[in-house]
Amino acid sequence: MANVLIIDDDRPTCDALMELVRNIGHKADFALSATEGVRKAENDEFDVVFLDVRLPDANGLSIVPTLRQRQLPPEVIILTGLGDPNGAELAIRNGAWDYLQKPLSPKKILLPLQRVLKYRDTLRKHTKLPKSFDRCGIVGTSPATTNALERLAAAARSDGGVLITGETGTGKELFAKALHNNSRRASGPFIVVDCAAIPPTLLESTLFGHVKGAFTGAERPSEGLVLKAHKGTLFLDEIGEMSLDLQKRLLRVLQEHRFRPVGANHEEESDFRLVAATHRNLADMVEHGLFRQDLLYRLGAMCIELPALQDRREDIPELSKNILARTCDRYGIPRKTLNNSVMDAFMGYDWPGNVRELGNVLESALASTYDMQEIFAHHLPEQLRIRVLKHTIEKSGSPDCGLSPDDIEESIEADGAILPYKAFRQDVLAKAEKRYFSRLFTACDGDMKRAAKLSGLGKSRLYSQVKKYRLEKE
User: What are the pLDDT tens digits along the chain (474 aa)?
Assistant: 889 999 999 999 999 999 999 999 899 999 999 999 999 998 888 999 999 988 998 888 888 878 877 667 789 998 877 655 666 666 776 678 888 888 888 888 888 898 888 888 776 655 567 778 999 999 998 878 988 898 899 899 889 899 999 999 999 999 999 999 999 999 999 999 999 999 988 999 999 999 998 888 888 988 999 999 999 999 999 999 999 999 999 999 999 999 999 999 999 999 999 999 999 989 889 989 999 999 988 887 788 989 999 989 999 999 999 999 999 999 999 999 999 989 989 998 999 999 999 999 999 999 888 788 999 988 999 889 888 877 766 554 444 445 555 566 666 666 666 767 677 777 777 878 888 888 787 777 777 887 887 777 877 788 778 877 777 655
Output the DSSP codes for 169-221: TS-HHHHHHHHHHTSTTTTS-EEEEETTTS-HHHHHHHHH-B-TTSSTT--S-
Instruction: Look at residue 409 in the predicted model and tell me its pLDDT.
Output: 60
CATH number, span 3-125: 3.40.50.2300
pLDDT at 30: 96
Q: What residue type is assigned to position 286 of the chain? A: V
Contact between 286 and 292 (Cβ < 8 Å): yes
Q: Which pLDDT score, from 0 to 100, does residue 144 have?
A: 83
Q: Where are the alpha helices (DSSP H) in 332-447?
A: 340-347, 354-368, 382-396, 405-412, 421-443
Q: Is-same-fold flag (3-125; 143-307)? A: yes
Pairing of strands 98-101, 75-80: parallel
Report, at the CATH architecture level, how domain 398-474 is classified. Answer: Orthogonal Bundle (1.10)
Dist. CA 354–CA 281, nearest whole Å: 18
Name the pTM for this structure: 0.66
Tell me how many degrees the CA angle 406-408-414 measures, rounded to the nearest 5. Answer: 95
DSSP β-ladder status, 268-269 and 337-338: unpaired
- b/e code 308-338 from CB counts within 10 Å (16+ = b): bbebbebbbeebbbebbeebeeeeeeeebeb
CATH class in words for 311-396? mainly alpha
> For residue 90, what pLDDT is reported?
67
CA-CA distances (angstroms) from residue 1 to 22, 121, 176, 395? 10, 10, 38, 44
CATH code given to domain 143-307: 3.40.50.300
> Which residues lie across from 281 on neighbouring strands?
none
Domain spans in the chain, listed from the N-terminal domain onward: 3-125, 143-307, 311-396, 398-474
